[in-house]
Structure 1
């Protein structure tokens, strides 16, 4: 049979390159030549692998159990506890850095968009929050190896809470090599100090969760300066001095040495919009205290109220707002909607009864103090009363300065921009504060502003509403207040609703 060369290879003409019957014959002959004894040995070894794996797994588990039992200490922190949040905050900031965290849980923001306060008014999609999702972490701290694991069994329950931000909602376990748990306790204390240092610019406001089972952090508000709450300066000074004296450790020792209950109650009363709640928040920020909101009408009965107060820590502020809406003249008022059966005696018992806690600052607010029972406001329960009325001219001038004085710090920058055409257009349109007033001129404008406001006629919230319309110009605010006062006075005299 003839041959031909293709690329240097000799190929027999007329035969296919691949002969399938020939290949099958060769494969069958190789299978027949296999040493079945050797092949059976391999199968026997392979059959032992699952049993060997199970043995190794059990040996590893037993070894790990032995190490945990004799060489590892641990502390478990339940979900929702403030310590849990402190430890998790430290871990996220120092170990699981945000730039290295590759696992998240995405959820739609249910609250107000912080960057865009008007987002809730727009027909647009809500922003997405990416919460840290982690299960365990290993790290070195002060020369010791620690491990933190997070239980995700309660994750779904935590995610059902709209206020949950992904921190402190699941049970965590802190472990470390050693026979003593003291290093872990020291680490937890370090986390608490770290969390407190981070929260020194915020006030944490607690309220009961949707099921009424436990206290949850509801808001984290920036500190509010006492200067932003406008009422009588002398009363404000005496109030702050009284609270500072009460919180002093020496005062506590004096109370205890004389067998006196270490308690202090305050009543803030006055018309709506005079800053009673704002003053409570400012006091919490001034003294670095957490604030616990107690909404009595939403509490089921006296037993639930007592349980709530037992879970409140000793050093904090307990705020009971609009207490006049609950009882009047020793008569129990039962709300038809929520069926609250809390009695006046039940409230008095948690405030200063046998089982009441000491060391708290209790603040009651009311718009109608004449409706309060005398037993609730007697000395020993209410020790300091603060009337918060309509704003005075002196306070109006202070409010004017507070609104516009911060802009003086940025006037040098604005003066530089004035050289450009764009800032000149901004000056004409009044888009932002550009009068270049000095501090002395601003004081004169504040006096001019306050002289046009009747004494003790408007609430601070009303005046704040006026400032919201004139934050871009101190001069325009001083010029416009007269017309605003006349319009408000006419509406007030006629008793009509002001339609804008």
Structure 2
């Protein structure tokens, strides 16, 4: 019994021997290195390591001081305030043309909140993963443009302040300083002009909607929406074309010169009225996109006083569209309402305050003012007289002809992604062109069959759009289900109607 035990020890010792020999080898190397090590050199090395942070801070301070004096003595600069609309134009150009091509490695990440979440507070409580928004994080960056070296600096303190606003999209809002080598500011002015031209080109594709910030202190971009075609807003076609022709004539430079030569105020006002969900706000946005104008949104029930309303109008630029929503709220006295269901939110500003900003002595010219209301009979005659309201546009319930047009728009094939667009060469075969024509004829037949099921002047466009959202995958399925949907809508309860009105107002 002892022999196996002894053999096991020997075997284990044999297995451990190489490791012990390795440790001994390492020990010998360390002893030789320590014997030849000069303690004074080790102390010098430690001293250099300890001095490195101090040297780095010195070099950094020297660079900052050198840049400061170089900027003062050999550079010209222009500062753009954070709240100025030009700030957004410059920052948008810098982010698109400079920062994105630089491969910047510093970002600020935050949870992206959709605009609709501010309307539906319950959406914030849903357990769903939200998109992450990455915003470039920089304070000063240099770049070449043309033959000149530029720099752009922004205040990171104001950047972090803007980050606290959930509606901030990372473009503009911080004080910017543009500079270049030399004593002349002309290159900077040309660069700013380039930024403005870039912003003008963006208006061909997007409409910028401005609203007051959460403190009511300044105008801030609320949304950047793709342009919506006017033909997607369905109401009387003759009235639509007359409206577009009137706006086009007003914006013509010759009209402005004519007004000025006759000492007439260069203003134009429109009243959009009709039931909720008929497209008053949508038409305003479509007009802004049609003519390349920014849209400034003023919700009358939310205006605190006449002074606030006047301050808002003073900060609005001349060439734009001002949307005054729910103007009937100014004159509604909720105390005199017998039926609480008919009460309207009351605004603290007065009729005289509104008239003063529209055409008072200090009111600006060149704007297009659009007033919207669901209750035109409550409007004071002083507001809707010619000169303040030059054209009234009624947006009512949808007609059968408009329902047919909406059906075609919803189910028309995407021309840009269709095989016909991809193969639009002159040598295209005849068979490849017949198929889309047959589809168009079939779509027209289905649209006519669909429209015959829609009662005239009964449903709002938003109601019909809600139906299409349930059947976008199949035109034939939409035709098959429209009659039952119409029957349900005609016999729905008044409570359901009230709920749909609230939903339509939120959607608009």
TM-score, normalized by the shorter chain, greater than 0.5: yes
| Distance verdict in 2 for CA 1:486–1:236, change over 3 Å | same
Indicate if the aligned counterparts of 1:328 and 1:373 stay in contact, CA closer than 8 A: no
Please show how residues 306-345 of structure 1 align to structure 2 within 5 Å: 306-328=310-332, 341-345=348-352
For residue 135 of structure 2, the aligned residue among 118, 131, 134 is 131
Offset from partner CA, 1:359-397 (integer Å, 9 cap, x none): 000000111100001111111000000011111111111
Aligned pair count reads 435
State how far apart, in whole Å, the 2-side matches of 1:107 and 1:354 are: 46
Indicate if the aligned counterparts of 2:110 and 2:133 stay in contact, CA closer than 8 A: yes
State how far apart, in whole Å, the 2-side matches of 1:341 and 1:486 are: 43
Displacement of 1:155 in angstroms is: 2.3
Question: Which residue pairs with 1:44 in the alignment?
Answer: none
Indicate if the aligned counterparts of 2:109 and 2:132 stay in contact, CA closer than 8 A: yes
| Distance verdict in 2 for CA 1:178–1:451, change over 3 Å | same
Question: Which residue pairs with 2:44 in the alignment?
Answer: none
State how far apart, in whole Å, the 1-side matches of 2:469 and 2:162 are: 38
Verify: 1:352 aligned to 2:351, yes or no: no
Verify: 1:78 aligned to 2:81, yes or no: yes
Question: Which residue pairs with 2:391 in the alignment?
Answer: 384
> How high is the TM-score relative to the length of structure 2?
0.77
State how far apart, in whole Å, the 1-side matches of 2:179 and 2:448 are: 64
Displacement of 1:151 in angstroms is: 1.3
State how far apart, in whole Å, the 2-side matches of 1:91 and 1:247 are: 31
Offset from partner CA, 1:371-430 (integer Å, 9 cap, x none): 0011111110000000111111111111111111125876769xxxxxxxxxxxxxxxxx
Indicate if the aligned counterparts of 2:305 and 2:349 stay in contact, CA closer than 8 A: yes
Verify: 1:466 aligned to 2:474, yes or no: no
Please show how residues 283-302 of structure 1 align to structure 2 within 5 Å: 283-302=287-306
Displacement of 1:198 in angstroms is: 2.9
> How high is the TM-score relative to the length of structure 1?
0.78
For residue 99 of structure 2, the aligned residue among 96, 100, 104 is 96
Greater mean deviation of Cα atoms: 206-215 or 128-137 = 128-137
| Distance verdict in 2 for CA 1:408–1:141, change over 3 Å | closer
For residue 187 of structure 1, the aligned residue among 166, 177, 191 is 191
| Distance verdict in 2 for CA 1:63–1:126, change over 3 Å | closer
Verify: 1:159 aligned to 2:163, yes or no: yes
| Ranges in structure 2 where 5+ consecutive residues have no aligned partner | 1-27, 41-50, 338-342, 421-435, 501-508
State how far apart, in whole Å, the 2-side matches of 1:395 and 1:169 are: 43
State how far apart, in whole Å, the 1-side matches of 2:230 and 2:270 are: 17
CA RMSD of aligned residues (A): 3.8
| Corresponding residue SS for 2:156 | coil
| Corresponding residue SS for 2:157 | coil
For residue 111 of structure 2, the aligned residue among 88, 108, 112 is 108
| Corresponding residue SS for 2:269 | strand
Verify: 1:282 aligned to 2:281, yes or no: no
Please show how residues 202-351 of structure 1 align to structure 2 within 5 Å: 202-328=206-332, 341-351=348-358
| Corresponding residue SS for 1:463 | helix
| Ranges in structure 1 where 5+ consecutive residues have no aligned partner | 1-16, 32-46, 414-434
Indicate if the aligned counterparts of 1:411 and 1:436 stay in contact, CA closer than 8 A: no
Indicate if the aligned counterparts of 1:151 and 1:171 stay in contact, CA closer than 8 A: yes
| Distance verdict in 2 for CA 1:171–1:261, change over 3 Å | same
State how far apart, in whole Å, the 1-side matches of 2:474 and 2:61 are: 76
